[in-house]
Structure 1
Amino acid sequence: MKKTVYDLLKKYNGTLILKDATAAGVSRVTLKRMVDNREIEREYPGVYTLPGQFADELLVAQAKFDKGIISHATALDLYDLSDDIPKKIHLTVPYNYHISAESLKKYAVEVHYTKPEWYAVGKTVTQSYVGNPIIAYDMERTLCDIWNPWSKSSEEIKIKSLQGYMTKKERDLNKLSRYRKIIPTSDEMKYYIKSLV
């Protein structure tokens, strides 16, 4: 079983989530023994790493908050659309999803709520900073969230993110236009897009 644990740690770039371990047939007893023997460390409840290694915080946040989709400032950073390094992990969840204030603080998460009909718009699988698969909003949805009239993002971040997006080969202005018809965005966004095309 230890070999399976090490294989999983390798597969997930040094971070093992309990549900992935149990799905592979690793028992909690095995993990506890390995922790007790200092072969692995328990970073958070249900999260294991090799000794001295940092956990993949985005993977951990999604394991803890299963409805959370990486969004806003964190998604901007993932797509290299901003110079700002987010102090917290930004997750979007449906309105009816409850997260305790204690959990938000413990996992350094800032939560954004969205209407159920908007929740899946732009949802995609991408890679965390260390290469693990995570669920995030795509670039177009992220821009819509940043340019939403209720967004707390600064004008500088809004403009720089749009400028960065326009330099990307994989940008999709048709998709961005479709999303803007679904998710409210500031009228200024349209003018900035026109000036950058």
Structure 2
Amino acid sequence: MEPIIDSFMQQNNGQITVSDAKKLGLNPHLLVDLANRGRLERVDRGVYIDPAVFEDDMYILQYRFNRGIFFKDSALFLHHLIDRTPGQYQLNFPARYHAPAIKQYPVKVYYQKPEWYSLGIEKVLTPGEHQVRVYNIERTLCDILRTRDASDSETIRQAMVNYVQLKQKDIGRLIQYADLFNVRDKINSYMEVLL
């Protein structure tokens, strides 16, 4: 394998994308050639991994649908507030975004007006050690309580208990988001019991 690709993949947990190759000054067709020779494995359009490495589904989804932000239970999982991988990933997109190819993935798609879509975005590491965009913990707690498509009660309870135990929590920001998303009463009822 090309030394520059090998070095990059060692630093990127065995994964490389077409855009990574371009940033490295390489012809992206080199990745196709390496895949044809069995040196790389193509796991999705534009995403290649070392055949000895497990693919990172969450990173692949974010690469393919880069406007998507991990949302609700998927965000809880990424923040380590729940202990089970969601059966279906949840991604939030800006209103009017259209990506017909997403239907082939195990993803529940949400759409929001721009001012809510962009509120509270941060980056975290997936279990595969790749950075993805997700909503911050306080925003996520408010999202899972909203009446339309709220998370199940056990997921909510586990997330709230784990949040209260965090050293790095921001109760002020939680209350601010709770007011914005009209879930202040629900947040208060959990916090009164747990704090």
Tell me the TM-score range normalised by the shorter chain. over 0.9
- Counterpart residue number, 1:104: 103
- Counterpart residue number, 1:40: 40
CA distance in 2 between partners of 1:104 and 1:14 (Å): 27
- Are 2:110 and 1:124 equivalent residues in the alignment? no
- Counterpart residue number, 2:140: 142
Q: How many residues align?
A: 195
- Counterpart residue number, 2:191: 193
CA distance in 2 between partners of 1:154 and 1:103 (Å): 24
User: Greater CA deviation, 165-174 or 130-139?
Assistant: 130-139
Letter in 1 for 2:189: Y
- Counterpart residue number, 2:53: 53
Deviations 1:7-57 (A, max 9, x none): 222222112121111111121221122112111111111010111422211
- Counterpart residue number, 1:20: 20
Decide which of 153, 156, 164 is 2:154's aligned counterpart: 156
CA distance in 2 between partners of 1:104 and 1:136 (Å): 20
Provide TM-score, normalisation by structure 2.
0.92
> How far 1:186 moved relative to its partner?
6.4
Unaligned runs of 5+ in 2: none
- Counterpart residue number, 1:67: 67
SS at match of 1:134: strand
Whether contact under 8 Å (1:145, 1:151) holds in the other structure is no
User: Greater CA deviation, 119-128 or 181-190?
Assistant: 181-190
CA distance in 2 between partners of 1:88 and 1:170 (Å): 28
Letter in 2 for 1:23: K
Provide the alpha-carbon RMSD of the alignment: 1.6
Whether contact under 8 Å (2:45, 2:64) holds in the other structure is no
SS at match of 2:80: coil
Provide TM-score, normalisation by structure 1.
0.92
CA distance in 1 between partners of 2:183 and 2:98 (Å): 26
- Are 2:164 and 1:180 equivalent residues in the alignment? no
Q: Percent identity?
A: 29
